A and B are shown apart, each in its own frame.
Chain A
Amino acid sequence: MKEFKINKKNYIKYFFLLLVFIFLVSFRIGRYPVPIKLLFRVIGSRFLPVSRNWDSTIETVIFQIRMPRIIASVFVGASLSLAGAVYQGVFKNPLVSPDILGVSSGAGFGAALGILLSFNKIGIQLSAFSFGILSVLLVYYFSSKIKESPILSLLIVGVLIGSAFTSLTSLIKYMADSNNKLPTISFWLMGGLSDLVMRDLEKIWIPIIFGILPLYLLRWRINILSLDEDEAKTLGLDTRKLRLVIIVSSTLITAFAVSISGLVGWVGLLIPHLARQIVGPDYEVLLPTSMLLGASYLLAIDNISRAITSVEIPLGIMTSLIGVPIFLLILLNKRPG
């Protein structure tokens, strides 16, 4: 059994190596391919005295274009997968994801509203973030008022609140100026990381500290929250406090991720499932695996979406087009029991 556990922990190493590999390869993809050797030398030149015998556009490509996007993909993919895995545990339901809890539709409405009101980029992100949080609060509040079948009521309320926000978004699109605002809104809703700059990444440490860190530290305890409430309490957990910390943290990172990437669907549902198939349900291993796998997955898909055709395909479209068949495959091959 000890070896069994160690085997599972080895997966974390493999998935980390996979992520590093995809990370490096990502610099090669696009109109200005950056070979890995050159990449190391350019990055190294920032810290060490290396003779600079390369074109200065290479530096622009690496630091201004590729790097923000690659880091954002890693961050958004890891966050959405982490949040999805955590939500599934605390709501004891493998079908819950950030999308289903209404974060995405709330954030989508917030962004559309921000664009309609001509907010600047920060304002739009902030608006998306706030409505994402508001939506989860509404879902959580109303579903806690329904006495029967907490799991089902959560899903139903999630669908209801989600569709209310989707309708409001449609209303905004209907009212928006069809020459410049409507395309911006539509583009945001399709999700993408193409217009990110280095400055956007400077904020990323906030959700990492306030969201990812507590979840990572509490990860083993999520196993127990996924059992019956009474069992969790009598095993020694203050479930109310713990659940609150965990839900607030995962909502924070989801809303933040969505506010910089737009709507990128399916990652938060698909990746935790895939990870659970590979390493089992123990959150001690499942959580890091989900994060690494999610980061690799989104980075790979973002690479595909900018390389496959001369015009970039929005990321949200790619994640569903690729995610749905993968999810079907997982369901069809699911272990019995």
Chain B
Amino acid sequence: MRKILRIESLDCGYKNIIVKDISFTGEEGDIICILGSNGSGKSTLIKTLAGLLVPHKGQVMVNNENIRSWSWQKRAKNIAYIPQYFNSTFQFTGLDIVVMGRTSYLRLGLAPKESDYEIAKKAMERLNISHLQDRIYSSMSGGERQLVKIAQALAQEAKILLMDEPTNNLDFGNQITMLNYLKELSEMGILIIMATHFPDQALSYGTKALLVSQGEGKLVINPRENIVEEDLEKLYDLQIKILDYHINNENRKVCVPF
């Protein structure tokens, strides 16, 4: 798979450095899970990758170009970002929100055209949320809004999707549905980077995991095979056991505290 993202010894934070010396690469189809306790700097890192925070040191390279040198428009064509919290003051419909993903393709002074609406509708179809087109975004449930934002990211046609705790407001069933959607997207060649509080997600879906604690990050490639209990114990300050189980002849893993 083609390598599209390269992070080299990145130090990031607001006024003070929160996480330092982060290095990893991302390829098409990767799902990179960022794990860490509250306040460990997961969101800070994601925002830096999105270009919203200026790194203290190091670079975010997309297709061998530093994103600092890009306009917001060019960044948007390459990187989509879904924050942890989002809503709208005004009563936009689902389709209104999804078509906003086309912003970076519009010429100045123009509104989205029929073809942009078509792309937006296709993105919603792909996620099976066409019924949300005319619903009011601000009165949707957290999970519905999350899906609308993902459809927006699809309409944006960016190769990299950054998500800050995508399963946060979802019930158990919707969490799994969401993760399966993300897996489908990764199979389409999208690089997904997500911050999450659930190590199980890294164990069952991640192709890479970045474990962030005490300001430093440790990269684990193929977390299902390579994450060890000590990694997670250090992360959450808990005693943790990783258990194997089999479903449909497939080896799976789950982590439990004890």
Q: Is B52 an interface residue (CB 8 A)?
A: yes
| Chain B contacts for A280, CB-based, 8 A | 91-93
Interface contact A238-B95, CB-CB below 8 Å: no
B244 / chain A contacts, CB cutoff of 8 Å: none
Residues of A within 8 A of B106 (CB): 220
Name the residue of chain B whose CB is nearest to the CB of A282: B96
Asked if A2 is an interface residue, CB under 8 A from chain B, the answer is yes
**A235 CA to B72 CA, complexed, in Å:** 8
Interface residues on B, range: 35 or more
Q: Which of A32-40, A223-231, A315-323 contacts B (4 or more CB under 8 A)?
A: A223-231
Q: Is the CB of A234 within 8 A of B77?
A: no
Q: Which residues of B contact A276 (CB under 8 A)?
A: 90
Question: A336 vs B91: C-alpha distance in the bound complex, in angstroms?
Answer: 10
A1 touches B95 (CB 8 A): yes
CA distance A218 to B103 in the complex (A): 12
Number of interface residues of A (CB under 8 A): 35
- In the assembly, what is the distance between CA of A223 and CA of B111, in Å? 10
Interface bits A2-14 vs B (CB < 8 Å: 1, else 0): 1011000000000
Q: Any chain A CB within 8 A of the CB of B114? A: yes
> Quick one: which of B47, B52, B85, B111 contacts A284, CB cutoff 8 A?
B111
Determine, out of B30-38, B132-140, B194-202, the stretch whose residues face the partner at the interface. Answer: B132-140
Q: 1/0 per residue B53-90: CB within 8 Å of A?
A: 00000000000000000011101110111010111111
Q: Known contacts A235-B76, A237-B103; is A1 also within 8 Å of B134 by CB? A: yes
Task: Tell me if B128 counts as interface (CB < 8 A to partner A).
Answer: no
CB-based contact B90/A221 at 8 Å: no
Could you tell me if A221 and B83 are in contact, using CB atoms closer than 8 angstroms? no
Checking A220, A226, A230, A235 against B47 with a beta-carbon cut-off of 8 angstroms, the contacting residue is A230
Q: Does A150 belong to the interface (CB within 8 Å)?
A: no
Instruction: Report the Cα distance A4→B93, complex, angstroms.
Output: 11
User: Is the CB–CB distance between A234 and B91 below 8 Å?
Assistant: no
B117 touches A220 (CB 8 A): no
- The one of A1, A220, A238, A337 in contact with B71, judged by C-beta atoms closer than 8 angstroms, is A238
**Set of chain A residues within 8 Å of B257, measured between Cβ atoms:** none
Q: Which residues of chain A come closer than 8 Å to B156, judged between CB atoms?
A: 235
B-side contacts of A231, CB under 8 Å: 81, 83, 86
**Nearest A-chain residue to B80, judged by Cβ:** A234
Q: How far is the CA of A233 from the CA of B83 in the complex (A)?
A: 12
A residues 77-136 near B (Cβ < 8 Å) are 89, 92-94
Partner of A221, one of B76, B81, B103, B139: B103
Q: Which of A184-240 contact B (CB under 8 A)?
A: 217-221, 223-224, 226-228, 230-231, 233-239
Q: Provide the residues of chain B in CB contact with A30, threshold 8 Å.
A: none
For the complex formed, measure the closest distance between the CB of B197 and the CB atoms of chain A, giving whole angstroms.
20
Complex contact B90–A281 (CB within 8 A): yes
Distance, CA A5 to CA B88, complexed state (A) = 20
Interface centre among A1, A92, A276 (most CB of B within 10 A): A1
Is A230 touching B133 in the complex (CB atoms < 8 A)? no
Q: Are A228 and B111 in contact (CB under 8 A)?
A: no
Q: Which residues of A contact B83 (CB under 8 A)?
A: 228, 230-231
In the complex, the answer to whether A1 meets B100 with C-beta atoms within 8 Å is no
Q: Which of B90, B95, B96, B104 touches A236 (beta carbons < 8 Å)?
A: B104
Say yes or no: A236 contacts B134, CB within 8 Å: no
Q: What's the least CB distance linking A314 to chain B, in Å?
A: 34
Complex Cα–Cα for A4 and B95 (A)? 11
Q: Does B50 contact A (CB under 8 A)?
A: yes
> Which among A223, A224, A226, A336 has the highest number of chain B CB atoms within 10 Å?
A223
8 Å CB interface, B95-127 against A: 95-96, 100-101, 103-104, 106, 108-112, 114, 117, 121
Given A218-B109, A235-B103, A337-B136, also A227-B88 (CB < 8 A) = yes
The yes or no answer to B51 lying at the interface (CB within 8 A) is yes
Contact B72 A233 (CB under 8 A): yes
Asked whether any CB of chain B lies closer than 8 Å to the CB of A335, the reply is yes
Interface residues, chain A, CB within 8 Å of chain B? 1-2, 4-5, 89, 92-94, 217-221, 223-224, 226-228, 230-231, 233-239, 276, 280-282, 284, 335-337
- Sort A-B residue pairs by CB-CB distance and give the 4 closest, nearest first: A236-B104, A236-B76, A281-B90, A217-B109
A-binding residues in B (CB < 8 A): 47, 50-52, 71-73, 75-77, 79-81, 83, 85-93, 95-96, 100-101, 103-104, 106, 108-112, 114, 117, 121, 133-134, 136, 138-139, 152, 156
Further 19 A-B residue pairs, CB within 8 A, beyond A220-B112, A234-B80, A236-B77: A4-B134, A217-B109, A219-B111, A224-B100, A226-B88, A226-B90, A228-B85, A230-B52, A234-B50, A234-B75, A234-B79, A234-B81, A235-B104, A235-B152, A236-B76, A238-B72, A238-B73, A276-B90, A281-B90
